[in-house]
Structure 1
Amino acid sequence: MARTTVEQLADFAADVSLEAPPPDVVEDSKRVLLDSVGCALAGIDVDKGRIGIKVARRMGGRGDATIFGVADRTTPFAAAFANAESINALDFDAVLPPGHVAPYVLPGALALAEERGASGARVLEAIAVSHEMSYRFSRAMDYTRTVTGTEIQVATVLGFTSAVFGAAAAAGLILGQDREVLADAIGIAGAITPVNSYRTWMMNVPNSTIKYSMAGPVAQAGMTAAFSAEDGHTGDRTILDDAEYGYRRFIGSERWEPGALTEGLGVDWLFPAHHSYKPYPHCRVTHGPFDALTEIVTANDLRPDEIDAIRCWGEAWVELPVWLSTTVDRPHQAQFSIRHGLAVSAHRIPPGKAWQLPETLRNPSVVGLMEKVSFAPHPDYVATLSADPSARPTRVEVDARGTTFSASRTHPKGTPSADPSIRLSTDELVEKFRANADGVLPAGRIDDLLDGILNLEKVENVSALLARTAPPRR
């Protein structure tokens, strides 16, 4: 009898070996781990990260898993919740279709790996499997926006909770599950997938601090699925093949192309070529404008008080409410408001935690410059995306000193590319990590984490390495 889609995904996870994937799969698995841990360290004092840690402490329990950036050791379930929330707290974490993946799939696997003393090679396998699986779900389902020849369509239901499948597989790999238990875990994950709430969040402002779909509950759902299978529950192995009543139907996706989940699976690794890394703690759709504006103000040494107007043409769906909002009282609002982001960029504040500090959010000069920003869709947006889905055509004009300065971009910095000026290199990710960890961890621990993560395949037991994501106990 033919294996179901769930079973084929389980076979893929069970058969993975660090020696089989191409080098870029191993490299990118290290890169996303490095970037995610750094983002978590930077995010612990932002609303979302701070609240995530408080909620995790309420869950309680002693254990051997670390909450990144604080001295707490707790259960894997509690640590996974806190770390998932802090990775995504600044919106500084990597982007992989369907949107964000790392905050949903990494925390559970890392917490279990620390508790169980897993090898670095096993952790890399779990990272690779979870990201490949999550990316393939984005190919099978509705994506955030679809180009239809002459316009951009935004799906009715949006979110990233399909990453729960990857989260369950990653947790199962760390637990050492065989293909049959993994199949049950993946089937259970489908049945307990949290809802996708992104669309209502982006349409209604002022919006909630939890953002699109909370990462913590999804990370825990993946762990729940893995442990439930381990302890004897069975999963619905037809849940991805049942077009009438299965996952496609109850998750609300209008598009369902299940062949994308399994075609070339285990042979063709797709996620590294589609993984973007963020140089700014802001929604990815605004990065092209930030690149262009930074070029203008830096090259011409413009001061904010010299600027009379900033005109921006960019990604068309920035016209939706969450991006056009001028209410910026809390970090999650700053992470999406294009006016606030451009105003902060014009002040040349180094991208990172400082962008979302209270003094930046309420800086009178930043708030005043927001009123001078205008936005419109780039006239070539649809045509350019039709030719190259990774492109984000952008133009920025700045009126200052009685003249108009301009700059354009096709691809924002951090887009995967053979062009080193566009791709965010590993060296640049290291510098981003150092900046994010500064003030949270001592220099020695930062160095140890960098060395361990960049050489993770050589680490026999990750427990000591992951414990160094916390400051020394006093």
Structure 2
Amino acid sequence: MSITRELCAAIERTKFDDFPADAIAEAKLCLLDWLGVTLGGANEPLTRILIEVTDSLGGKKQASIIGHARKSSMLNAALINGSASHALDFDDVHFQMMGHPTVPVMPAVLALAETRKSTGKDMFTAFILGFEAECRIGSSVLPFHYQQGWHATSTIGRFGAAAACAKLLGLDTERMNYSIGIAGTQAAGLKQVFGTMSKPFHAGKAAADGLLSALLAEKGFTCSEDILAGEAGFCKVLSPDCNPEMITQDFGKSYAVTNVIFKRHASCFETHPTIDAALELRTKVLPEEVKEVIVEAVPIALEIAGKPEPRTGLEGKFSLAYCAALALVDGQTGEERFTNENVLSDRMVSMRQKVKVNANEDFGLTQATVVVRTNDGREFKACADTLEAGSDKERRKADLIRKFRSFADRLLPPGRTDSIIEFVESAEKQKNVAKLLALCRP
């Protein structure tokens, strides 16, 4: 049996009752976080462009556009909602796929679930397994795949969306295999576009392509039977340094969703350790006292978020220098701090120009240090590990709910935010997921 078919067989036989309680609990948080950041991105320029273009193309009104009183086709809804949910770069992350796991999967699952009137239990089953598939595939090709310039959220996310939708459609192993294959032959997405609208577009396109792959496979559309581990397949072509056997190893013993990381700052995750360290120092030194700031971070953080002179709010999310300055000056790192005006303000530019960023190969992905030297010769140092900062589960959940409210309360009528939270908390008991999407309309 091929690696791809073995993965599909494992997904086909897994049921909701096979999941441990912590996997279901984390899936609920993924859903709530995704709804929040999608509402937050609902009126971003890229979202409005996508709505305008897809409206001009026509199609059946099948699935809801989050944050808008409108529907579009399933594929268009997955594209728009997936792109909107990644527009702020405030969505969850996972090291196993070195990317953002929920944004390619959830919009595809919800578009299909709403159209097919699926239950909450079936929706969660599909989502958790799609999440699992992309993380397992990610573990087999990383870090080489990412280091070569591929945006894993896009390339690997398609597999997650395809697997999840195939599961929700109830496809057998053969047709699910075709779904994975069709997704794999569409895999694309380059890191060159980071800091532009095309990065969040990757997430939406992955969601739409994954959903399309499952719908085609449902009708008998064929593809390679081993797109993952074949000689000219995904792993060997896009990551010659790969280990496809990892994709199916010990399937079902644990679930990747239990290790998801939710963002507390509205910027690239690789800026978070720097922000955490700088926030600690803000309590010890005033901005006007700062003479010099030295940031040390893992080399890949400089590669991804090393923009020295950001000119837009979006570029600011990918600038360690700006993020360090922001933490020291404002002490706030929500979406409202990543505007063009704030990035270019005199006070932020002045502090950013004092920041020097160096690579430290001994650091892990979640570690950074910040040193602040003052005009009168004092020196302060802080070390941060973002994983440690998110280890308190109760505080983590409370922070996530506050984050969700910060976006939902701006856009939705009074009381609607509470209704969404209540629905998500009991989503596995709900008979029709479409009710949740209706709550997300202004």
Structure 2 match to 1:29: 27
Q: Is the 8 A contact 1:190 1:239 kept in 2?
A: yes
Deviation at 1:365? 1.0
Report the Cα offset of residue 393 of structure 1. 2.9
Quick one: structure 1 residues 254 and 424, their matched pair in 2 at CA, closer, same or farther if it must change by over 3 Å?
A: farther
Q: State the alpha-carbon separation in 1 of the partners of residues 413 and 185 from structure 2.
A: 43
Please report how far the alpha carbon of residue 358 of structure 1 lies from its aligned counterpart in structure 2 after TM superposition: 3.2
Shift of 1:17: 1.5
Q: Quick one: distance in 1 between partners of 2:331 and 2:71?
A: 34
2:122 is aligned to: 122
What is the Cα-based RMSD across aligned positions, in Å? 2.3
Q: Cα–Cα, structure 1 residues 328 and 55, in superposed 2: closer, same or farther, change >3 Å?
A: farther
Q: Which residue in the other structure is 1:211 paired with?
A: 199
Q: Secondary structure at the match of 2:410?
A: coil
Q: When the two structures are superposed, what TM-score results if normalisation uses the length of structure 2? A: 0.92
| 2:302 counterpart (310, 314, 319) | 319
Deviations 1:275-297 (A, max 9, x none): 21110111111111101111121
Which sits farther off after the overlay, 40-49 or 182-191?
40-49
Q: Structure 1: how far apart are the matches of 2:45 and 2:309? A: 16
3-state secondary structure, aligned to 2:323 = helix
Indicate how the Cα distance of structure 1 residues 73 and 436 shifts in structure 2: closer, same or farther if over 3 A, else same: same
Aligned partner of 1:112 in structure 2 is 112
Aligned to 2:351: 369
Q: 234, 238, 241: which one pairs with 2:226?
A: 238
Q: Which amino acid aligns with 1:398?
A: V
Matched-pair contact (CA < 8 Å) for 1:307–1:399: yes
Identify the residue that residue 5 of structure 1 maps to in structure 2.
3
Tell me whether 1:101 sits opposite 2:72 in the alignment: no
- Bigger Cα displacement from structure 2, 136-145 vs 32-41: 136-145
8 A contact 1:56–1:81 mirrored in 2: no
Match of 2:288 in 1: 305
Taking the aligned partners of 2:413 and 2:375, their CA distance within structure 1 comes to 44
Distance 1:157 1:108, change over 3 A: closer
Correspondence list, 1:311-460, <5 A: 311-320=294-303, 323-348=305-330, 350-378=332-360, 381-382=361-362, 384-385=363-364, 392-400=366-374, 402=376, 403-412=378-387, 415=390, 419-420=391-392, 425-460=396-431
* TM-score calculated relative to the size of structure 1: 0.86
Q: Once the 2 structures are TM-superposed, how far is the Cα of residue 54 of structure 1 from its aligned partner?
A: 3.4
Structure 1 residues 222 and 367: alpha-carbon distance in aligned structure 2, compared to 1, 3 A threshold: same
**Stretch moving more, 328-337 or 128-137:** 328-337
Distance 2:161 2:397 in 1: 25
Q: 2:62, 2:71 within 8 Å by CA — same for their partners in 1?
A: yes
- Contact kept, 8 Å, 2:90 with 2:267, in 1: the verdict is yes
1:453 Cα deviation (Å)? 1.1
1:247 aligned residue = 234
Shift in Å, 1:424:
6.0
1:172 has 2:166 as partner: yes
Whole-angstrom CA distance in 1 between matches of 2:241 and 2:139:
10
- Does residue 277 of the first structure (1) align with residue 252 of the second (2)? no
Q: Which residue of 2 aligns with 1:151?
A: none
Match of 1:225 in 2: 213
Give the whole-Å Cα distance in 1 for the aligned partners of 2:312 and 2:209.
28
User: Partner amino acid for 1:128?
Assistant: I
Matched residue of 1:268: which SS?
coil
Q: Percent identity?
A: 27
Which amino acid is the alignment partner of residue 51 of structure 1?
I
Name the CA shift for 1:211/1:264 in 2 (closer, same or farther; >3 Å).
same
C-alpha distance in 1 between matches for 2:302 and 2:170: 47
Could you tell me which amino acid in structure 2 is paired with residue 211 of structure 1? Answer: K
TM superposition shift of 1:112:
1.0
Equivalenced residues, count:
438
Equivalent residue for 2:185, pick from 185, 188, 191: 191
**Superimposed CA distance per residue, residues 120-157 of structure 1 (whole angstroms, 9 cap, x where no aligned partner):** 111111110011111101111032699xxxxxxx4454
User: CA contact under 8 A between 2:63 and 2:74: conserved in structure 1?
Assistant: yes
Residue 139 to residue 458, structure 1, CA distance change in 2 (3 Å) = same
Shift of 1:254: 2.2
* Equivalent residue letter for 2:152: G
Structure-2 change in CA distance of 1:142 and 1:451 (3 Å): same
SS of residue paired to 2:369: strand
CA deviation after TM superposition for structure 1 residue 459, in Å: 1.1
Identify unmatched segments of 5+ residues in structure 1: 147-153, 386-390
Uncovered stretches (5+) of structure 2, i.e. residues with no partner = none
Whether 1:462 and 2:436 are equivalent positions in the alignment is no
* 8 A contact 1:157–1:253 mirrored in 2: no
Letter in structure 2 aligned against 1:427? A
| Matching residue's letter, 1:226 | A
Is 1:159 the equivalent of 2:134? no
Higher helix share: 2
Contact 2:47 2:84 in 1 (8 A): yes
The separation in 1 between residues aligned to 2:87 and 2:50, in whole angstroms, is 9
Q: Describe the superposition over 1:206-248 as per-residue Cα deviations: whole angstroms up to 9, x where unpaired.
A: x643128711221111111111111221221122232x22222
Distance 1:212 1:88, change over 3 A: closer
Q: Quick check: 2:274–2:323 contact (8 Å CA) kept in 1?
A: no
- Asked if 2 retains the 8 angstrom alpha-carbon contact of 1:4 and 1:238, the reply is yes
Per mean C-alpha deviation after superposition, the further-off stretch among 132-141 and 226-235 is 226-235
Contact 2:279 2:328 in 1 (8 A): yes
Partner letter of residue 285 of structure 1? E
1:267 match: 253
